[in-house]
Amino acid sequence: MMPMDSMVAMERAVPAKRLLIVPSRSRYEIEIGKHGSEEAARAWFGKTEVWEYIASSHAAQKQNLTLLQQSLSHHSIDRSQLDEEIISKHDLFAFVGGDNHFTYCSQVILQYQRAHPREQKDVIGVLLDPTKSLGALLQCTMPEFIRQASELQRGGYTAESWTTLEARISDGNGQPFPAVGEYFIGERDREEMSRNRAYVDGRPVLSEKGSGILIVTGAGAGDGSWYDNVHYLAFRGPDALGREERAAHAIVTETKQSFLKGGESAKVRLLPGQTFAVYSYNDDNGMFLPDAHRDHGARFKIGSRADIKVSDNYLRVVRKN
């Protein structure tokens, strides 16, 4: 049996986690910033009940953020301040908001880790307003996070290693961030047919025409996800893919061939070490989006090529209790 003094020394050897809290802004705040005033934002939405819903959600979010500030004294920043210097000074990041906020901030962490592969960064998603967001990717509610904060900071948790995606685009129209759940390739405008030719290690796959291509990890393939809905149309059933499973699935959305051929031309599995190459025949509005975040994406116009891979860079997510 290990002596007590040795056990104490081991406990002391575990460094405390430097926790950073990154809360989201509410839709109410975003819309007022966009339109210049509450009156202008309300007028733009037209129907009073829509704006009232946004305003009531804002009130609920502010109430939870006030509770957070009163209960914890940890450093907190807006996500626009989540830069390389800030990330380097912290080990654990609590992204407080909904799924959209979680994937946006996690992409920034993945981008940092790609440049600093020896550093370990952990994340946890905290649901800010359960009446507005399902929080399918998040790990706890606000009261749960407040109760767990001290233990989390002591490192009293285990982390999952979520599979992520990375991509390189061959032209000068920008490079997309890594993706937590999915990449979408398609046309920005619905009046245009999306046209792409795809290959896995040089082997032609998927049908060429549709309304776009989704490439997903387990985080992007859950119940009710975009991929889940598309998959049901082509295959009349769900598609199980674990968040730690080292694989990705690519599927063509809204393609005739998926119905005529039972879906075999609409879907392909991508494994580590393989390259999923996509050549764009889209018009000038072609786009390449990670987790639906346009400002982390890139243009994907005619002649562009994207090489997509299951990344060696995992997202370390605090395991849900």
CATH number for 35:
3.40.50
Rounded distance, CA 47 to CA 200, Å?
48
Q: By the 8 A CB rule, do 139 and 126 touch?
A: yes
The mean pLDDT of 131-138, rounded to a whole number, is 86
Q: Which of 124, 157, 190 is the last residue of a domain?
A: 157
Listed range (14-28, 70-84, 284-298) with the worst mean pLDDT: 14-28
For 182-198, how does the pLDDT look when each residue is reduced to its tens digit (9 = 90+)?
999 988 876 677 788 89
CA distances to 29, 64, 185, 186 from 23, in Å: 13, 11, 29, 31
Indicate the residue type of 308: I
Q: Residue 14's pLDDT band (boundaries 50, 70, 90)?
A: low
Domain that holds residue 127: 13-157
Rounded distance, CA 270 to CA 262, Å?
20
Number of structural domains the chain divides into: 2
Rounded distance, CA 216 to CA 160, Å?
18
Q: Is 321 a domain residue?
A: no
Residues 207 and 254 in one domain: yes
For 102-122, how does the pLDDT look when each residue is reduced to its tens digit (9 = 90+)?
999 999 999 999 999 999 999
Residues 215 and 301 in one domain: yes
Here the CATH number for the domain that contains residue 201 is 2.60.200.30
Residues 129 and 185 in one domain: no
Check residue 256 and give its pLDDT: 61
pLDDT over 90 for what percent of the chain? 54
Residues 304 and 196 in one domain: yes
Rounded distance, CA 177 to CA 293, Å?
9
Q: By the 8 A CB rule, do 317 and 95 touch?
A: no
Residues 129 and 178 in one domain: no
Scanning the structure block, which residue is given the tokens 């769900």? 238
Q: Is 202 a domain residue?
A: yes
For 68-97, how does the pLDDT look when each residue is reduced to its tens digit (9 = 90+)?
888 887 788 999 999 999 999 999 999 999
Q: Is the pLDDT of residue 5 over 80?
A: no
Q: Is the pLDDT of residue 10 over 60?
A: no
Q: Is 5 a domain residue?
A: no
Q: Is 320 a domain residue?
A: no
Say whether 171 sits in a helix, a strand or coil.
Answer: coil
Q: Is 319 a domain residue?
A: no
Q: Is 179 a domain residue?
A: yes
Residues 148 and 269 in one domain: no
pTM (2 d.p.): 0.89
Residue ranges with strand state E in 189-231: 194-200, 203-205, 209-210, 213-216
For 27-79, how does the pLDDT look when each residue is reduced to its tens digit (9 = 90+)?
888 888 888 988 888 888 876 788 888 888 888 888 888 888 888 877 889 99
Residues 138 and 183 in one domain: no
Q: Which of 157, 188, 222 is the last residue of a domain?
A: 157
Mean pLDDT of the chain: 87
The CA-to-CA distance between both ends of the chain, in Å, stands at 30
Residues 20 and 153 in one domain: yes
Which helix (H) or strand (E) segment holds residue 149: the answer is helix 142-153
Q: Is 1 a domain residue?
A: no
Residues 186 and 302 in one domain: yes
DSSP annotation of 181 reads S
Q: Is 185 a domain residue?
A: yes
Residue ranges with strand state E in 90-223: 92-97, 122-127, 140-141, 159-162, 165-169, 182-187, 194-200, 203-205, 209-210, 213-216
Closest CA to 235 of 258, 253, 204: 258
Tokens of 48: 């009073």
Q: By the 8 A CB rule, do 274 and 248 touch?
A: no
Residues 195 and 272 in one domain: yes
Residues 181 and 148 in one domain: no
Check residue 2 and give its pLDDT: 44
Q: Which of 97, 124, 157 is the last residue of a domain?
A: 157
Listed range (90-94, 99-103, 279-283, 305-309) with the worst mean pLDDT: 279-283
Residues 188 and 226 in one domain: yes
Check residue 257 and give its pLDDT: 55
Q: Is the pLDDT of residue 132 over 90?
A: no
